[in-house]
Structure 1
Amino acid sequence: MVVIRNESASDFEAISAVTKAAFENHPHSNNTEQFIVNALRSANALTVSLVAEVGGKVVGHIAFSPVNISDDSQNWYGLGPISVLPEFQKQGIGKSLLFMKVYPC
């Protein structure tokens, strides 16, 4: 069973590890995604930051933060990164994070 919940301070290290592992071999990554999440958190700019747990282990993470739109539209948010440990990918966990649903794992 996948549990989706808000991040807590005790999750920060696990979130970095999950994000790093998720993008480590991605062909379009420069492997800085974990630093982006940490910078957004440090800037108090993570509007939504959720983790996915399986058996009490953080296996996924999703972040939403405010973005500026060129026409000065207000209240827009960017998604990303969304990360799932490689061994848990393709099991619906990313979808669970995005839609905040629970899928069996």
Structure 2
Amino acid sequence: FYLLLIDDYDKLKPLYDLFKEDYYTVFDQEMYSHDWWLEVMSPDASKANAIKYLKQKLQCDEVVVFGDGKNDIEMFEEADYSCAVENAAPELIKCADEVIHISVPQYINQRKK
């Protein structure tokens, strides 16, 4: 399951405190709209766990991921190569292998060549 709540910090913080011990939660200010987002999901349902599963299930040689928010950090750590878009959260840029200055589809087309 996945639950996304968008509201003011003061309204979401008590819910974050309630859920954070039993569920995988991401509580952060959305970088484009500046709303506060609370994401609540099963402890097994994270982007990092999805990467682990796909690597094993598909026997991938390399997993390349793209992201822009702090909620992508764990996914970046699990992937073989990570690309942050140029307007990504500074925390994500710090852990990216590369910062891209073109669109993701353009990057993929260039990388295939």
Q: Same fold (TM over 0.5)?
A: no
| TM tier, smaller | under 0.3
- Larger relative CO (CA 8 A, sep 6+): 1 or 2? 1
- Using the size of structure 1 for normalisation, the TM-score is 0.24
**Structure label with greater radius of gyration:** 2
Which has more helix, going by share of residues? 2
